[in-house]
């Protein structure tokens, strides 16, 4: 009898443990949070086998569970917490119970928010961004070139393969970036991309994890800290519209509406204008907004309230965790427009000074200005996005320098493009650039004409807005690859052991490459201290006979810029500029140091740009 009872008890215990063994937590995000946030609500995504069968409980002063939401997939719970002002930094257990029995527990941490975090400063027209594709910049840690469990290892011979650049490579060359005169780094995404041909970083498979081939979360924090010590802020590239098809949740979606088109690939039309087109059909709008960017990048449904909160909290988490200087947002108008208002609004609620630049690749300023904070749109749409990439100005610069000067072509393109600034609430906060990671290098766009290159760089570093320079531009990086992104994103010379050319030290660079690097370094470091360029108003004069000139000015100083496209030097009389030059007698060329007496006119060399500080 005793033996039979023992057998029965054993069966019950084994059966009981096997029942409880079916529960587990695979993901709980965000894994920790901070006290002292403006918004005191926090939603946890909990993912694990049959987790929805369990009830979460906790006991910690200042923290309470407001709501527990279950969705169609029983492997998910969404737990809404309230963090009151009395909540202190510390750790506590979240218990997951079946009836009265605790089945699982998770130790959750609340960290103390860094003093002044909410008031953090961000990038302004005083900055110049250095855009880096990390995999192609420098390999600082060869030990992480190939990582077990990730589909791609090192393959430097493949244009679309992993070349081994990483966070340590950026850290190793912070002194170079600082010495050149850059004040911030925008790197293409660093988060995990666990799929093929994703070295670029835009197919994210884990929103809370740095890709192990790039480094670790702690490495990213260290980069931010060391960069700040070198006078450089870190700008994170945020991807809201899509994830990678290899993301962990793609194998176990919370609900059918987590991904647009119920998780089935439907190609995006890329007709971005449908968002603001008063005549657009609903069908065209749906095909644009719900279509996938490409097959390997599932389109996130931000109309799903849990997805929206997940993305908002994830961005805030990285700002706090990595002490970020600002954000750049990929494929901005592809996301749901109402969500974008909510996302930007929440971020600016926590960080009123935060600058965020969105990518809207259009050559029409009316399309771009729709998204800038402060724009009064006729359809009533309200945006809180502070900045946008100025693609129209980039295109106008290339056309202005490469076209023959006639009544409607050449330099007049630059002059007339600026009239569109009336459409922007804040044109000074636009990000301006000669090229980026998705287009041919500026040296190629200018037909490898070094004189035009110098004119272009002078223009972008003295024009209104916040300049961004792509890595390698300082050494005349060029590629005849057309639209082949794998070739456009070249390895930076000297970033790999054994490189015959080292642009960090100058070893092996050609004469013209060294000259370009020196020129840009001098221009950048001058700009760094020029408050007239940072804060000044703009006045320009219509192009005449191949000459285009403009002024940046404040009550305390003036800078005159002259572009001369002519194949001969031109003597510029100063009488035309009496509004700006009256009561001034001399000007100094900031590149050569030469002093000009203004009453004698200014001799501008052929095919050159001149920057004059007015005395």
Which residues are marked as active site?
330, 359
- Answer whether 50's CB lies under 8 Å from 75's CB: yes
In order, the DSSP letters of 15-79 are HHHHHHTT---SEEESSEEESS-SS-EEEEEEESTTGGGSEEEE-BTTEEEEEEE--SSTTEEEE
- Answer whether 461's CB lies under 8 Å from 609's CB: no
Structure tokens at 601: 């006119």
* Alpha helix stretches (DSSP H) within 93-166: none
CA angle 421, 424, 427 (to 5 degrees): 65
The values of phi and psi at residue 610, to 5°, are -125, 135
Contacts 24+ apart (CB under 8 A), 190-195: 190/134, 190/214, 190/215, 190/220, 190/236, 190/237, 193/244, 193/246, 194/149, 194/150, 194/151, 194/244, 194/246, 195/151, 195/244, 195/245, 195/246, 195/296
SS3 of 105, please? strand
DSSP 299: B
CB under 8 Å to 90, separation ≥6 — which residues?
A: 60, 109, 110
Structure tokens at 42: 């926090």
Structure tokens at 177: 């970036």
């Amino acid at each position: 009898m005793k033996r039979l009872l023992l057998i029965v008890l054993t069966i019950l215990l084994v059966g009981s443990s096997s029942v409880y063994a079916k529960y587990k937590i695979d993901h709980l995000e965000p894994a920790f949070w901070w006290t002292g946030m403006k918004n005191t609500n926090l939603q946890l995504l909990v993912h694990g086998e049959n987790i929805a069968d369990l009830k979460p409980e906790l006991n910690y002063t200042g923290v309470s569970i407001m709501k527990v939401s279950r969705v169609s997939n029983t492997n998910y719970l969404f737990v809404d917490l309230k963090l009151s002002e009395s909540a202190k930094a510390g750790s506590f257990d979240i218990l997951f119970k079946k009836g009265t029995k605790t089945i699982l527990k998770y130790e959750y941490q609340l960290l103390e928010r860094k003093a002044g975090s909410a008031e953090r400063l961000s990038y302004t027209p005083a900055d110049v961004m250095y855009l880096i594709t990390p995999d192609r910049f420098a390999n600082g840690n060869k030990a992480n070139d190939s990582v077990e469990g990730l589909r791609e290892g090192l393959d430097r011979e493949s244009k679309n393969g992993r070349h081994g650049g990483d966070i340590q490579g950026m850290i190793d060359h912070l002194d170079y970036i600082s010495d050149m005169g850059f004040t911030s780094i925008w790197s293409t995404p660093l988060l995990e991309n666990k799929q093929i041909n994703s070295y670029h970083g835009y197919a994210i498979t884990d929103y809370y994890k740095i890709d192990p081939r790039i480094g670790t979360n702690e490495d990213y924090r260290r980069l931010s800290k060391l960069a700040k010590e070198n006078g450089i802020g870190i700008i994170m590239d945020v991807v809201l519209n899509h994830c990678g098809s290899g993301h962990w949740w793609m194998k176990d979606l919370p609900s059918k509406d987590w991904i647009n088109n119920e998780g089935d690939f439907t190609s995006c039309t890329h007709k971005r204008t449908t968002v603001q087109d008063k005549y657009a059909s609903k069908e065209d709008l749906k095909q644009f907004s719900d279509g996938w960017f490409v097959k390997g990048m599932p389109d996130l449904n931000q109309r799903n309230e849990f997805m929206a909160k997940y993305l908002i909290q994830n961005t805030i988490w990285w700002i706090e965790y990595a002490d970020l200087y600002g954000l750049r947002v990929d494929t901005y108008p592809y996301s749901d427009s109402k969500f974008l208002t909510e996302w930007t609004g929440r971020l600016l609620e926590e960080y009123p000074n935060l600058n965020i630049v969105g990518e809207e690749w259009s050559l029409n300023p009316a399309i771009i200005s729709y998204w800038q904070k402060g724009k009064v749109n006729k359809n009533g749409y309200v945006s809180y996005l502070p900045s946008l990439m100025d693609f129209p100005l980039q295109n106008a610069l290339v056309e202005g320098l490469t076209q023959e000067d006639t009544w409607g072509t050449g330099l007049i393109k630059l002059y007339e493009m600026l009239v569109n600034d009336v459409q922007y609430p804040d044109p000074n906060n636009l990000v301006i650039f000669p090229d980026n990671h998705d287009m041919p290098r500026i040296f190629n766009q200018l037909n490898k004409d070094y004189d035009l290159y110098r004119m272009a760089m002078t223009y972008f570093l003295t024009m209104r807005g916040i300049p961004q320079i792509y890595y390698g531009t300082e050494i005349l990086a060029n590629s005849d690859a057309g639209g082949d992104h794998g070739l456009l994103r070249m390895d930076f010379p000297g970033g790999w052991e054994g490189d015959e050319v080292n642009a960090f030290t100058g070893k092996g660079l050609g004469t013209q490459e060294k000259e370009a690097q020196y020129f840009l370094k001098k221009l950048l470091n001058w700009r760094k201290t020029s408050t007239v360029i940072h804060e000044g108003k703009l006045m320009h004069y219509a192009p005449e006979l191949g000459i285009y000139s403009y002024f940046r000015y404040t009550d305390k100083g003036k800078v005159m810029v002259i572009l001369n496209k002519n194949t001969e030097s031109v003597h510029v009389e100063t009488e035309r500029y009496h509004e700006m030059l009256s009561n001034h007698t001399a000007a100094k060329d900031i590149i050569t140091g030469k002093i000009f007496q203004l009453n004698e006119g200014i001799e501008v060399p052929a095919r050159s740009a001149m920057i004059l500080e007015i005395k």
